[in-house]
């Protein structure tokens, strides 16, 4: 527990940034250090954590959500979630300096989707259609993919639509999707549709965090899931923990633990898990707050 021993509190082992987030932040900081005389922007939040974004903004990296705000003299950092092919080409045409911080696991999905689309396969993406990563992936097959997030979406209308394409099917997943749900959806689709080719594109870090979080929840009376409200992987961890523990709360910082002190006593088993873009310092802060508030 990094020097703070609380016997009733258990935290997951995976408390560092995932590889993609770690890489994106390093790229952003290096870009800032090497371009002192230029305006530096990130296209949308580079990762979904407000503390991280705030710290990068203090370094002088501004956040923009529209490409037309960029000029040829600017430096633009592509977020870890990636962008569409069309957006990428627009930035090239503007002439801005592109610094690509797309997560390697996401970049791999772009290549798969682009190749399979060229080979005339219909693309299905399993994930949240509103998430920036999924939007970016869809942009590598001309936004033609069918996107599903829940098994109940595989109804007669969906199946008829897919079969009407009369082509082979390629399925990929959002990198942070729930592994068990992914496998279940794949099983259902393969029972109903022929000529399916699928790629398990859930990143290893997400799978590991999901398994560790499940184990934590099974052995806890209360679980705190630390992460940003817009973080997909944090939301997935919250959903997984809710399956195995009644008292699961998503928090963005240690201060929010105070709202739940009435649920904890000295014999309570407290679990802590955190999203891939949540700094490990957040675990220390939550542990400190627990020791202070609950006198554990």
Positions marked active-site: 133
The kind and range of the H/E element at 196 are: strand 196-198
Helix ranges (DSSP H) in the chain: 19-34, 50-58, 85-94, 104-118, 132-138, 156-164, 179-192, 204-218, 232-244, 281-293
Distance CA 160, CA 102 (A): 35
Inter-residue contact 25 to 17 (CB < 8 Å): yes
C-beta neighbour count of 197 within 10 angstroms: 13
Q: What is the CA radius of gyration of the chain?
A: 21
- Cα dihedral sign for 202, 203, 207, 210? negative
3-state DSSP helix/strand/coil % of the chain, to nearest 5: 45, 15, 35
C-alpha span between 6 and 97 (Å, rounded): 49
d(Cα 231, Cα 208) in Å, to the nearest integer? Answer: 17
- Total Cβ atoms within 10 A of residue 59: 12
């Amino acid at each position: 527990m990094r020097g703070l021993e609380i016997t009733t509190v258990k935290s997951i082992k995976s408390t560092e940034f995932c590889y993609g987030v770690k890489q994106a932040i390093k790229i952003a900081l290096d870009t800032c250090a090497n371009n002192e005389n230029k305006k530096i922007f990130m296209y949308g939040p580079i990762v979904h954590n407000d503390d991280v974004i705030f710290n990068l903004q203090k370094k002088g990296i501004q956040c923009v959500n529209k490409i037309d705000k960029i000029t040829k003299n600017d430096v633009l950092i592509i977020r870890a979630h990636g962008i569409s092919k069309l957006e990428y080409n627009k930035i090239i045409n503007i002439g801005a300096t592109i610094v690509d911080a797309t997560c390697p696991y996401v970049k791999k999905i772009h290549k798969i989707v682009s190749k399979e689309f060229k080979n005339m396969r219909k693309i299905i993406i399993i994930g949240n259609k509103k998430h920036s990563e999924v939007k970016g992936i869809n942009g590598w097959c001309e936004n033609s993919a069918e996107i599903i997030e829940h098994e109940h979406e595989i109804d007669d209308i969906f199946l008829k639509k897919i079969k009407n394409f009369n082509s082979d099917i390629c399925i990929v997943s959002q990198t942070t999707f729930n592994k068990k749900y992914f496998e279940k959806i794949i099983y259902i689709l393969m029972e109903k549709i022929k000529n399916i080719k699928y790629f398990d594109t859930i990143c290893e870090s997400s799978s590991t965090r999901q398994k560790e979080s499940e184990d934590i929840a099974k052995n806890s009376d209360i679980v705190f899931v630390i992460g940003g409200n817009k973080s997909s992987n944090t939301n997935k961890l919250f959903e997984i923990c809710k399956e195995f523990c009644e008292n699961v709360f998503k928090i963005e910082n240690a201060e929010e633990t105070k709202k739940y002190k009435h649920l904890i006593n000295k014999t309570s088993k407290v679990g802590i898990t955190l999203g891939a873009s949540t700094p490990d310092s957040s675990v220390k802060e939550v542990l400190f707050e627990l020791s202070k508030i609950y006198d554990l």
